[in-house]
Amino acid sequence: MTRFDATEPAERRKLYVDAIAAHRERESAFLTVEADDAVLEADTDGSDETETTLGSEEDPDDAPPAELGVPWIQFGDGTVNLDCTDAELEALKTVLGEFPAFKIDELIRPEETEGVNARISAKADSNRIAQFVDGVFLEVYDLPTGFRVWVAEV
């Protein structure tokens, strides 16, 4: 591989396909792609409501939603692996409706952390996997269309 990031939707999908090919060629255990952390910093609207509610002792139902940090997705041996919040899990199920060849194999809810780890069987070609991965970043993690993605590990 000669490039490791992309921002345009078509270029991101091509990057995912290239990363899958490199992963298979190297026979590595998995590959990891992650959103650029700058997208999280730019995702503010100028008001920081979270800061005012974090220290309060109000109703826990009013607490801000859990955040898991920079979104990432791993792929290896026909399985897509990702972490998400419960709300993101519902969005993931919606995205899976558009990809009938992809199915949740396992949901893991670690006791020591917030969120859910989802393992999804991805019995499809590289192009379809790339479409799915980009859809997850856009729909599940609610990233803007022009977000930057990095291949962090192949």
User: Is 17 among the domain residues?
Assistant: yes
Report yes or no on 59 lying in a domain.
Answer: no
**Residue 51 falls inside a structural domain:** no
Note whether residue 78 is domain-resident: yes
Q: How many domains does the chain have?
A: 1
Q: Is residue 108 part of a domain?
A: yes
Domain ranges, residue 18: 5-42+68-153
Task: Provide the token pair at 141.
Answer: 């993690």
pLDDT, residue 85, reads 96
- 61 located within any domain: no
- Return the residue matching tokens 């558009």: 98
Q: Is 82 part of any domain?
A: yes
pTM: 0.82
Q: What distance in Å separates the CA atoms of residue 50 and residue 44, rounded to the nearest whole number?
A: 11
Residue 72's DSSP bridge partners are 34
pLDDT at 67: 61
Contacts for 106 with CB less than 8 Å, ≥ 6 apart: 118, 119
Residue at 49 is within a domain? no
Token pair for 107: 């949901």
Pairs from 110-116 (Cβ < 8 Å, separation ≥ 24): 114/66, 114/68, 114/85, 115/66, 115/68, 115/83, 115/84, 115/85, 115/86, 116/83, 116/84, 116/85, 116/86, 116/89
Helix (H) or strand (E) holding 90: helix 86-96
Cα gap 33→80, rounded to integer Å: 11
Per-residue pLDDT of the chain (154 residues; tens, 9 = 90+): 677 999 999 999 999 999 999 999 999 999 999 999 887 776 554 433 333 223 333 333 443 444 668 999 999 999 999 999 999 999 999 999 999 999 999 999 988 888 999 999 999 999 999 999 999 999 999 999 999 999 999 9
How confident is the model at residue 136, as a pLDDT?
Answer: 98
Question: What are the contacts of 96-104 at 24+ separation with CB within 8 A?
Answer: 96/120, 98/135, 99/124, 99/128, 99/131, 99/132, 99/135, 101/128, 102/132
